[in-house]
Chains A and B, each alone.
Chain A
Amino acid sequence: MASLKLKLSAAALIGSLLIGVSPALAEAVLHRGNAGEPQTLDQAHTSINIEEFILKDLYEGLTIYDAAGKIVPGAAETWDLSDDGIVYTFKLRADAKWSDGSPVTAEDFAFSFRRVEDPKTAAEYANILFPIKNAEKVNKGELPVDQLGVKAVDEKTLEITLERPTPFFLELLAHQTALPVSKASVEKNSADFVKPGVMVSNGAFRLTAHVPNDSLTVEKNTHYWDAANVKLDKVIFYPIDDQAASVRRFEAKEMDLVYNFSADQIDRLRKSYGDQVHVSPTLATYYYAFDTRQEPYSDVRVRRALSMAVDRDFLANEIYSGSQVPAYSMVPPGIESYGEPSKADFADTSQLDREDKAIELMKEAGYGEGGKPLNIEIRYNTNPNHERVATAVADMWKNTFGAKVSLVNLDVSSHYAYLQEGGKFNVARAGWVADYADAENFLALSVSTNKTFNYGHFENAEYDALMKKSYEEQDPAARSKVLHEAEALLMKEQPIAPLLTQADLWLVSERVKGWQDNSPNQHLSRFLSVAE
């Protein structure tokens, strides 16, 4: 007994030594799990949202998303749009400064946009700014960079001329590619301008340290125009791509925020952490594309039948534990300028009725039991969840139509390389995450001239015409109506079967204040604070 006691007290002693004495922290630090190592901190090369979270804390674009995910003025205080919808004039904030104290100028923005479109920069997301006059030609090397439609009228006035009216241009400006760089810093430091100690930024925070795969530290930028309202002194981003490891570090109270965790953990985490578990539907659609170039998928009846036979509730609840929502439209709900999307006509009927109708349609088309044999190959990128979805869908098609379904999976690069290069397939899994909160971003994927993203090579003149009309329409309400018509047509034709609206999964510690779930998934640390 005595020895047991001794052991226990020794263990307690070791334990307390290991924990060490943590000093009472005077400064407010947010420990932010960030789901992966950023590939770059260069606005011209960024392409993923874990970079976006960091970059938008460091830099401020002309427009930004507020805590609720709405577009509000950022570095620009006000703006005017010419009557023809072509020329935007932005007035920058008089007190907008870089972290070195120098003023943010219109020329900085003009320089940044030229840099993104310069073919020598090879920016991954150059197309985000293609609505700017001559941008696409500049990016293809057909015009010199100085022909880009951006002009610094004076130190604080920026004039942007567009190729054609672009109703969602203010959303585009809130994209991380449209964040400014300091012209002086980039010219002086070239590629090194992204390094800690060198980087000059105009956002609420500045970069102070970066150890790849370990942590990235930003501290409050005292020169920021709204610094008085920034409550955090420091944000540490942890680039952890292993979801289980992130959750463990949250449970050990080492991190306040975790972005993305395995859906099968939702129930367990809800039991332990209650409303610290956030499931927030996002602007992302999980869909299956049909190769409309070949039989039988060229037949709209076959496509509709296959789509109807998929029990989306099962996918959402059984496979994703409610972390995804059944989808019947290509455009996810939650886009302010669009409102309720146009759903497929079978959205409101019960699954049993859908299946009866599907069998009928398939018979009409002459496939399945009693008709031509139905052999379907589902392609998807390797991932346990995608595999479960494909297996379930295969089972549904087998039971409903007596189809023979086989599954093929490739890693992400190979899967998308195959589809992009126009490879033939039967049914292929794809996903789309919005670049900007506008329905056009989803509907443009199925335009016949979109050779890269229109995997199934859907060609429909009426659809193309409606989309064209939407680009020309100036009035927001009328434009929204045209886009709804286009989506209704798309859902009638079902060249793609939307299956799920994805959700962003966050663990938000009760220490964190100011958090609001929003569908554009925008969470600037500037709007957050931590309780003592």
Chain B
Amino acid sequence: MIAFILRRLASAVPTLFIVVTISFFLMRFAPGGPFNLERPLPPATMENLMRTYHLDQPLWRQYMTYLGNAVTGDFGPSYIYHDNNVAQLIGKGLPYSMELGFYALLLAVIGGVIAGTVAALKQNSLIDFAVMSVSTIGVTVPNFVVGPVLTLIFAIMLSWLPAGGWGDGSFRFLILPIIALALPQLAVFARLTRGSMIEALNTDHIRTAKAYGLPVRSVVITHAMRGALLPVVSYLAPCAAALLTGSAVVETIFTIPGVGRYFVLGAINRDYTLVMGTVILVAIFVIVFNLVVDILYGLLDPRVRHD
């Protein structure tokens, strides 16, 4: 097991290297640069800036410098947010995104699995129909609609919850963003669980267990659930990586100081180093969660063993 984990971590290095290299060069194809503003800068100022940030050097040298620094944990200055470097920006924002993402993930997984299981057990009933309709809405209605509607009802009309911001970090500031963030994922988990649960309930070993007269609860929870959760677990990796690294949309709607918005801001402002920082961040999260999921798979599915 430990050898497996080490092997996987070692293989992450070339993956990261390829991701960094491709993004570094791809990004430079976009026209303009970090200092092409709506208000153009005079040529002399531009020259001073390009020199200060070493953007006047040949691209390959900038690339080598970047790689060299990144290895030592220096992800460079942000070209747009002068007062912070990329590591500081991400370091300050990530805890907010992760806290929000963690609760949203929890809500999505627990809520989704329960809803999906209930729907599967009462297949084609009114409950099933209701769960599936709601989850269709959850998937199809984007959170830039859900978010403002939630604020409109709970913050502006009822004045129960804040309309946005992190405030003092108390939970009431988090409720609406968690719901907006979790809803689409919850719907996906519900659909996945329902599908695989129906399949699991129709397998031979479940039928055998039922024939033995085991109570329904134990059949579902100990026997069917184990098989039914496999697709859910595989979806967990990309979902966790996406939720924990922040959502640009939800963070913008609820004005949460997370890292999600840096993906978009970095790209629009041609803040090259910030873009690289966010790319590396997501890559690491994806790699780590894929690993976690593979380990979980080993625990759930006896056919998979990491010896």
Q: Which residues of A contact B (CB under 8 A)?
A: 14-15, 18-20, 37, 39-42, 45, 47, 119-127, 136, 139-140, 191, 194-195, 211-215, 238, 240-242, 244-245, 248-249, 251-252, 254, 381, 410-414, 416-420, 431-433, 451-453
Q: Which residue of A lies closest to B51 (CB)?
A: A122
Minimum Cβ distance to chain B for residue A171 (Å): 17
In the bound complex, how far is the Cα of B40 from the Cα of A290, in angstroms?
A: 18
In the bound complex, how far is the Cα of B32 from the Cα of A418, in angstroms?
A: 8
Interface pair B252/A242, CB less than 8 Å apart:
yes
**Known contacts A39-B82, A242-B253; can you find 17 more A-B pairs with CB under 8 A?**
A14-B160, A15-B160, A18-B161, A19-B159, A39-B83, A40-B81, A123-B48, A126-B44, A194-B83, A249-B165, A252-B159, A412-B268, A413-B37, A416-B40, A419-B40, A432-B39, A452-B42
Residues of A within 8 A of B52 (CB): 120, 122
Minimum Cβ distance to chain B for residue A14 (Å): 8
Residues of A within 8 A of B84 (CB): 212
Q: What band does the interface of chain B fall in when counting residues whose beta carbon is under 8 Å from A?
A: 35 or more
Binary contact readout B76-111 vs A (1 if CB under 8 angstroms, 0 otherwise): 000011111000010011000000000000000000
Binary contact readout B242-284 vs A (1 if CB under 8 angstroms, 0 otherwise): 0000000001111111100100000011100000000000000
Q: Which residue of A lies closest to B262 (CB)?
A: A213
Interface pair A238/B255, CB less than 8 Å apart:
yes
Does B64 make an interface contact (CB < 8 A)? no
Q: Which residues of B contact A (CB under 8 A)?
A: 30-33, 35-45, 48-49, 51-52, 80-84, 89, 92-93, 148, 151-152, 155-156, 158-166, 172, 175, 251-258, 261, 268-270
Query: Which of A119, A123, A211, A248 is within 8 Å of B155, CB to CB?
Result: A248
Query: Which of B32, B40, B155, B269 is within 8 Å of A453, CB to CB?
Result: B40
Q: With contacts A194-B83, A212-B257 known, is A417 near B156, CB below 8 A?
A: no
Interface pair B81/A37, CB less than 8 Å apart:
yes
In the bound complex, how far is the Cα of B258 from the Cα of A194, in angstroms?
A: 21
In the bound complex, how far is the Cα of B255 from the Cα of A130, in angstroms?
A: 39
Return 8 A-B CB contacts under 8 Å, by A number.
Answer: A14-B160, A39-B82, A42-B82, A122-B51, A242-B253, A245-B255, A252-B151, A410-B31
In the bound complex, how far is the Cα of B39 from the Cα of A245, in angstroms?
A: 26
Q: With contacts A215-B165, A411-B268 known, is A417 near B33, CB below 8 A?
A: yes
Minimum Cβ distance to chain B for residue A453 (Å): 7
Minimum Cβ distance to chain A for residue B48 (Å): 4
Interface pair B92/A248, CB less than 8 Å apart:
no
Minimum Cβ distance to chain B for residue A62 (Å): 23
In the bound complex, how far is the Cα of B268 from the Cα of A432, in angstroms?
A: 21
Interface pair B49/A412, CB less than 8 Å apart:
no
In the bound complex, how far is the Cα of B37 from the Cα of A295, in angstroms?
A: 29
Minimum Cβ distance to chain B for residue A54 (Å): 12
Query: Which of B48, B83, B156 is within 8 Å of A41, CB to CB?
Result: B83
Query: Which of A140, A254, A416 is within 8 Å of B164, CB to CB?
Result: A254
Minimum Cβ distance to chain B for residue A176 (Å): 13
Interface pair A249/B255, CB less than 8 Å apart:
yes
Interface pair A248/B163, CB less than 8 Å apart:
yes
In the bound complex, how far is the Cα of B33 from the Cα of A413, in angstroms?
A: 7
Minimum Cβ distance to chain B for residue A442 (Å): 13
Query: Which of B36, B45, B81, B164 is within 8 Å of A245, CB to CB?
Result: B164
Q: Which 10 A-B pairs have the closest CB atoms?
A: A413-B32, A214-B257, A252-B163, A213-B257, A40-B82, A122-B48, A417-B32, A417-B36, A414-B31, A122-B52
In the bound complex, how far is the Cα of B155 from the Cα of A238, in angstroms?
A: 17
In the bound complex, how far is the Cα of B45 from the Cα of A119, in angstroms?
A: 8
Query: Which of B38, B83, B270 is within 8 Å of A42, CB to CB?
Result: B83
Interface pair B48/A139, CB less than 8 Å apart:
yes
In the bound complex, how far is the Cα of B145 from the Cα of A1, in angstroms?
A: 34
In the bound complex, how far is the Cα of B38 from the Cα of A19, in angstroms?
A: 42
Interface pair A254/B162, CB less than 8 Å apart:
yes
Query: Which of B83, B92, B160, B256 is within 8 Å of A195, CB to CB?
Result: B83
Minimum Cβ distance to chain B for residue A77 (Å): 32
Which has the most chain B C-beta neighbours within 10 Å: A195, A213, A240, A432? A213
Q: With contacts A47-B39, A414-B31, A452-B40 known, is A213 near B255, CB below 8 A?
A: yes
Interface pair B49/A122, CB less than 8 Å apart:
yes
Interface pair B81/A39, CB less than 8 Å apart:
yes
Q: With contacts A15-B160, A248-B151 known, is A20 near B40, CB below 8 A?
A: no
In the bound complex, how far is the Cα of B159 from the Cα of A248, in angstroms?
A: 12
In the bound complex, how far is the Cα of B270 from the Cα of A453, in angstroms?
A: 21
Residues of B within 8 A of A251 (CB): 156, 163
Residues of B within 8 A of A417 (CB): 31-33, 36
Residues of B within 8 A of A121 (CB): 48
Q: With contacts A39-B82, A245-B255, A249-B255 known, is A126 near B165, CB below 8 A?
A: no
Interface pair A124/B49, CB less than 8 Å apart:
yes
Residues of B within 8 A of A244 (CB): 148, 253
Interface pair A242/B82, CB less than 8 Å apart:
no
Interface pair B172/A412, CB less than 8 Å apart:
no
Interface pair A212/B255, CB less than 8 Å apart:
no
Minimum Cβ distance to chain B for residue A516 (Å): 26
Interface pair A412/B42, CB less than 8 Å apart:
no
